[in-house]
Amino acid sequence: MNSPHLADSTLVKDSLKQSFIKLDPRLLIKNPIMFVVEICTAVMLVETIRSFFNANASPSFAYNLTIFLILLITVLFANFAEALAEARGKAQTDSLRKTREETPAKLILENGQLQTVSSSQLKKGDIFVCEVGDLIPTDGEITEGLASIDESAITGESAPVIREAGGDKSSVTGGTKVLSDKIKVVVTTQPGENFLDKMIALVEGASRQKTPNEIALTILLAAFTLIFIIVCITLEPFAHYAKTPISIAAIISLFVCLIPTTIGGLLSAIGIAGMDRALRANVITKSGKAVETAGDIDVLLLDKTGTITIGNRKATHFYPANQIDEKHFIQCAILSSIADETPEGKSIIELGERHAINSEQIKKEITSSSKFTFIKFSAETRSSGIDCERGRIRKGAFDTIKKLTEQAGNDFPNDVSEQVTKISSNGGTPLVVSENEKVVGVVELQDIIKTGIRDRFDRLRKMGVKTVMVTGDNPLTAKFIAERAGVDDFIAEAKPEDKLEYIRREQQGGKLVAMMGDGTNDAPALAQADVGVAMNSGTQAAKEAGNMVDLDNDPTKLIEVIEIGKQLLMTRGTLTTFSIANDVAKYFAIVPALFIASIPTLQGLNIMNLHSPESAILSAVIFNAIIIPILIPVALKGVAYQPIGASAILQRNLLIYGLGGIIIPFIGIKLIDLMVSVFV
């Protein structure tokens, strides 16, 4: 999803308009720093009007008016930064609003007939039909059929995707288009609560709430402001003692320059921009807190299949047990896979056909008999099979079939055990086949590790993130793939509750955990994780449990999300450092200027050698104002992040934004003073 350019004229115009609207104190009070600056601006307005009617006023009307205008511009610049960040998000909702427009829906009535109704009339639990060319009217789960769906209106990706009933790819989103076939869909949301509605609200900032970190920083900045209120108040008795009158304009200028106006003006924009960057990565966040938390993640759980490996494992070899005919074994493997709807099960049938075994004929022979029962594959049993006239045939994980055969009083063949170990050691997955609780052979499945995945895990390791691979494979296979992929840990033979238990264990140790999932069985773990990213193609339960939704259905997206989170935290930290460092230069500009006439020894503090007290104050407040729009691109784009370790990042940012925050204002104020001195 593309984000509008910063220089977009429409965005700038809308943001300028909002800058004035946001001057409303009821809106600005949400930003305590800028609210205080607005109060100071109002005081300066009163002082300016008073000096207008007093010809002998000191400082002059023109001087007071200039200070007032600069303070007003300071507030407007801060409002502009926030408005521009919001406008970039709002601009992205135009196409979404068009997508959300009323669409006809073919509702299935209780009598089975179809009735065309508006999408707004659909209620949770209703069932509708979509055919080729139809727009899906609202969010739902496919209950029957399979279809190719164009999701470009949501994801921006033109390539169609396959959605089908059952499994973890059954979810469809309102506004997407059916390109082929026919599906029945049950509505999973109430009117006005579908995915697009929530997405628009989040993007526009209507649902944005300040994150805990943002609230904490706001409190800290408010404390700084209170301190400088006390400082500025106490200056008056000192000035009186030194017989140096200080004007209201000077006190207000000093106060506004010393409080952290820079970060105060950019704080909201940084938070909004963080969510915007997540959206550009095609990730919908339910709150800004989720993005922030991602930046502090310690442990990352990733499924092996589709994340670390290319996807579905494929059967590559048949290894019959000693004294077992190969053809008979392959037939047993095919029979045990007929009810297995997983890609692995289908690949066994395909491999069998390459060995000249007609699977359709075998299936026909079996189903022609009245005595047969299919046993579908499940994660709990980790096996599939069939009961028929030929006997009880099972295919499953090594330990499952071993337990089955030994419980029946049969020995597990040593040659098959050796073959299982060999397959596992080579990174394959062994599936053992039994007939009437006697082992007949083993099928080898192979995974292909994604290119470049090891480099990505190295990058995460440099970020301080521990990677954990979750797989249903046996420990030997899991260990082999974990070592090749470069992950730090793995969970083998994982069940849904194992993920949940691992997350809880890490959290009890004070760690923040992230994971990605797409199935209903992932929902508990997604809800438990500090950052849970659900696939948009996944079930409704998964999407509701997670606090982020990945529109691209990319299992490695968590890596990008973590980088976005770290960039958000870094941007806020570095600009806070820069803002506070600025105060040093402003202090050396204004304080000597106030007292240098009555206390000549303060000339030593006038290291910038500014032209006059009036030009010094003007230069400081002008710099204080213009630094906000200069830093807007940094706030919106974020500080560049490199995985070089926390201490190295801290040193770099202190050097650039800490030292730079001290040096730049000295240079800036001096240059402005040279220009101002022409007029003052």
Longest CA pairwise span in the chain (Å)? 116
Q: Which of 4, 576, 472 is nearest to 264 (CA)?
A: 576
Query: What 8-state DSSP symbol labels residue 311?
Result: S
Task: Please tell me the distance from the alpha carbon of residue 518 to that of residue 370, in angstroms, as a whole number.
Answer: 38
Smallest CA-to-CA distance from 499 within 301, 664, 323, 266 is with: 301
Q: Where are the beta strands (DSSP E) in 382-474?
A: 383-388, 391-397, 428-435, 438-446, 466-470
Closest to 165 in 3D by CA, of 286, 3, 338, 341: 341
Per the structure block, which two tokens stand in for 572? Answer: 């806020």
Tokens at 152, concatenated: 């470009």
CA distance 596 to 252: 18
Q: Which of 110, 92, 83 is nearest to 22 (CA)?
A: 83
Residues contacting 107, CB < 8 A, separation 6+: 114, 115, 116, 117, 121, 122, 126, 127, 128
**Counts for the chain of helices (H) and strands (E), in that order:** 25, 21
Q: Coil, helix or strand for 677?
A: coil
Q: What DSSP assignment string belongs to 110-134?
A: TTS-EEEEEGGG--TT-EEEE-TTP
Residue 135 CA to residue 48 CA, distance in Å, equals 62
Give DSSP secondary structure letters for 322-346.
Answer: TT--HHHHHHHHHHHHTT--SHHHH
Q: In what order do the strands lie in the sheet with 438-446?
A: 314-320, 438-446, 428-435, 391-397, 383-388, 373-378
DSSP state of 658: I
- Catalytic annotation, pick one of 303, 447, 518, 554: 303
**Virtual torsion, Cα 336, 337, 340, 342, nearest 10 deg:** 140
Catalytic (active site) residue 303: yes
Find the helix or strand (DSSP H, E) in which 316 lies: strand 314-320
Whether 322 and 419 have beta carbons less than 8 Å apart is answered as no
Q: Is it true that the peptide bond before 59 is cis, omega within 30 degrees of 0?
A: yes
Q: Which residues are tagged catalytic?
A: 303
